[in-house]
Amino acid sequence: MIRESLIFEISDPGKPAFALPALDVPEAEGLLDGLAVRSDIPGFPQVSEVEVVRHFTRLSQQNYCVDLGLYPLGSCTMKHNPKVNEKVAGLAGFAQAHPCAPPETVQGCLEVIKSLEDALCEITGLQAFTVQPSAGAQGELVGMMLIHAFLKSRGNPRKIVLIPDSAHGTNPSSAHLCGYKVQEVKSDPTGRIDPDELEKAVTEDVAALMVTNPNTLGVFESDIADIARIVHAKGGLLYMDGANMNALTGIVRPGDMGVDVLHINLHKTFSTPHGGGGPGSGPVGIVKALEPFLPTPVVVRRGEALDLDFERPRSIGRVRAFFGNFLVAVKALAYIRTLGPWGVREIAEISVLNANYIRKSLEGIYDLKYDAPSMHECVFSDKLQKEATGVTNLDIAKRLIDHGYHPPTMSFPLIVQGALMIEPTETESKRDLDGFIEAMKAIDREARESPEILKAAPHHSYVRRLDETAAARNPVVRWEKPKNP
Ligand SMILES: *Cc1c(COP(=O)(O)O)cnc(C)c1O
């Protein structure tokens, strides 16, 4: 309904030349009670659209992102992810589906979950998956709970979980949270599990070995078949942390290595950019024997249709509201389907090639504690620079910012002093890799010629070196207008 027609008022210069039709807003009065109606004007900043756009554009330019350049964070796989997958996840049928909708009205969404579970079974060689866990760490906990439930059902609950000393910190935490006693397994001089040492550690009280393959040193556990045999011989299970699946997809399958339980990180390997606390997903795959214990509900096929199965008396129960981070699953399926089996294999091949290219190019300039061929990442240390000049991995990382690169993962894995863990991922061209390698070489020269430059780096960023301890202890999380601008 138009309440006021378009009237031209040419004769009166004090009035506007025309009036616009009023909007047809239903009467709001009476719909809200007195408490909800505010009496004051909210204190929004009075800024124009241009000012707002410029403010946020300026902020975004102060940030470093994968869309700007190489982001070599090892163990985190910050790779560029196809933008088309974001589009697919944004389709109304996915993005606006209500999590409480009856199954018959969201068959497409259930099909995505089921198809992704099936694809992950193919890729990993395991028999069933749940996509409920919303991160790798939660996947680990769910995996441990499944192992616990399985062993308990056989009247054989055990107390110990073995974990190599190179493992990600979440591994011991998850095992501990599940009530297990964690026992460390030392890596051998090549950075791998020594089967002889393992044999001594595996007893009838070991519920599982949690192995990361390739491990966090970027080294493939080539004795994995023996490792599986040793653990199984004593009635234990083999858990694999699959955060590094990027190196394996389409080439080898954990299920074929003897792995019983596995988590993967969709936000590392299958097309969701991660970092900044964004949504993740840590699906857990299992062998057939553990299927009755899967979290509920399980997406099942009943005739032509898909349904949610809650009637699973041996289930460990629900571990996450609704279906986990569903849109991350949509992106993962879009990624796997667009690449196909050969594309998925090529991803692994190039990620391994790129990591080895960096390792070979920087070998001798930066120290390599474990000189084994790399998988998808390589771990250097600051040993050579530190001994010669006093420069540390922190200084090197900060100086990389001046050279236009995001620093690599630092000080992890813990068994490498002064670690610089570099994962280029498959998305980088040779030109970009060469640029990064040149920067690392230049930093080594700078360390020898004028170490003070590195000690005070970064010099060209929006903020200089921060007091990270103070920032963690007294975080200022709210922007405040300066008192005397
Ligand atoms: C990232 C990572 C994890 C934990 O995964 P989140 O999704 O961050 O919880 C576990 N293990 C390894 C080796 C990882 O790289």
Q: Check pocket membership of 243 for ligand 1, CB cut-off 6 A.
A: yes
Q: Check pocket membership of 210 for ligand 1, CB cut-off 6 A.
A: no
pLDDT value at 344 more than 90: yes
Report the pLDDT value the prediction gives residue 25, as an integer from 0 to 100.
56
Report the pLDDT value the prediction gives residue 15, as an integer from 0 to 100.
67
pLDDT value at 282 more than 60: yes
CATH superfamily name and code, 347-471: Aspartate Aminotransferase, domain 1 (3.90.1150.10)
pLDDT value at 348 more than 80: yes
Ligand 1 center–CA 168 separation, angstroms? 7
Q: How far is CA 156 from the centre of its chain?
A: 34
Distance CA 165, CA 148 (A): 22
Ligand 1 center–CA 282 separation, angstroms? 9
Ligand 1 center–CA 21 separation, angstroms? 57
pLDDT bin (cut points 50, 70, 90) of residue 77 is confident
pLDDT value at 8 more than 60: no
Q: Check pocket membership of 170 for ligand 1, CB cut-off 6 A.
A: yes
Pocket of ligand 1, candidates 79, 163, 170, 240: which has the most ligand atoms within 8 Å of its Cβ, to mutate? Answer: 170
Q: Which residues contact 299 (CB under 8 A, 6 or more apart)?
A: 110, 113, 114, 117, 306, 307, 308, 309
pLDDT bin (cut points 50, 70, 90) of residue 76 is confident
pLDDT value at 12 more than 70: no
Q: What would the mean pLDDT of 115-127 be, rounded to a whole number?
A: 98
Strands 206-212 and 160-164: parallel
Is the separation of the CB atoms in 287 and 255 below 8 Å?
A: yes
Report the pLDDT value the prediction gives residue 468, as an integer from 0 to 100.
84
Distance CA 438, CA 361 (A): 9
Q: What would the mean pLDDT of 75-79 be, rounded to a whole number?
A: 83
Q: Check pocket membership of 372 for ligand 1, CB cut-off 6 A.
A: no
Of 364, 353, 275, nearest in space to 79 by CA: 275
Q: Check pocket membership of 266 for ligand 1, CB cut-off 6 A.
A: no
Q: Check pocket membership of 265 for ligand 1, CB cut-off 6 A.
A: yes
The segment(s) of the chain belonging to CATH 3.40.640.10 are 83-339
Ligand 1 center–CA 164 separation, angstroms? 15
Which is the closest atom of ligand 1 to the Cα of 265?
Answer: 7
Pocket of ligand 1, candidates 134, 138, 168: which has the most ligand atoms within 8 Å of its Cβ, to mutate? Answer: 168
Q: Lowest-pLDDT range, 112-116, 212-216, 274-278, 327-331?
A: 274-278
Report the pLDDT value the prediction gives residue 5, as an integer from 0 to 100.
41
Ligand 1 center–CA 13 separation, angstroms? 69
Is the separation of the CB atoms in 274 and 78 below 8 Å?
A: yes
Strand partners, 300: 307
pLDDT bin (cut points 50, 70, 90) of residue 31 is low
Please state, for a pLDDT cut of 90, what percent of the chain lies above it.
79
Q: What would the mean pLDDT of 247-259 be, rounded to a whole number?
A: 97
Q: Three-state secondary structure along 262-294?
A: EEECHHHHCCCCCCCCCCCCCCEEECHHHHHHC
pLDDT value at 1 more than 60: no
pLDDT averaged over every residue in the chain: 91
Higher pLDDT, 53 or 8: 53
Please state, for a pLDDT cut of 70, what percent of the chain lies above it.
92
Angle (nearest 5°) at CA 308 between 305 and 309: 115
Q: Whose CA is nearest to atom 5 of ligand 1?
A: 136
The string of pLDDT tens digits covering residues 132-156 is 999 999 999 999 999 999 999 999 9
Q: Whose CA is nearest to atom 14 of ligand 1?
A: 243
Distance CA 460, CA 483 (A): 27
pLDDT bin (cut points 50, 70, 90) of residue 479 is low
The segment(s) of the chain belonging to CATH 3.90.1150.10 are 347-471
Q: What would the mean pLDDT of 171-184 be, rounded to a whole number?
A: 98
pLDDT bin (cut points 50, 70, 90) of residue 79 is confident
Ligand 1 center–CA 374 separation, angstroms? 19
Q: Check pocket membership of 191 for ligand 1, CB cut-off 6 A.
A: no
Q: What would the mean pLDDT of 111-122 be, rounded to a whole number?
A: 98
pLDDT value at 262 more than 80: yes
The pTM score is 0.88
CATH number of this structure's domain 83-339, picked from the four choices 2.60.120.260, 3.30.499.10, 1.20.120.420, 3.40.640.10: 3.40.640.10
Ligand 1 center–CA 138 separation, angstroms? 9
Ligand 1 center–CA 110 separation, angstroms? 26
pLDDT bin (cut points 50, 70, 90) of residue 372 is confident
Pocket of ligand 1, candidates 77, 241, 274, 409: which has the most ligand atoms within 8 Å of its Cβ, to mutate? Answer: 241
Higher pLDDT, 178 or 25: 178
The string of pLDDT tens digits covering residues 438-462 is 999 999 999 999 999 999 999 999 8
Ligand 1 center–CA 449 separation, angstroms? 38
Q: Whose CA is nearest to atom 8 of ligand 1?
A: 136
pLDDT bin (cut points 50, 70, 90) of residue 480 is low
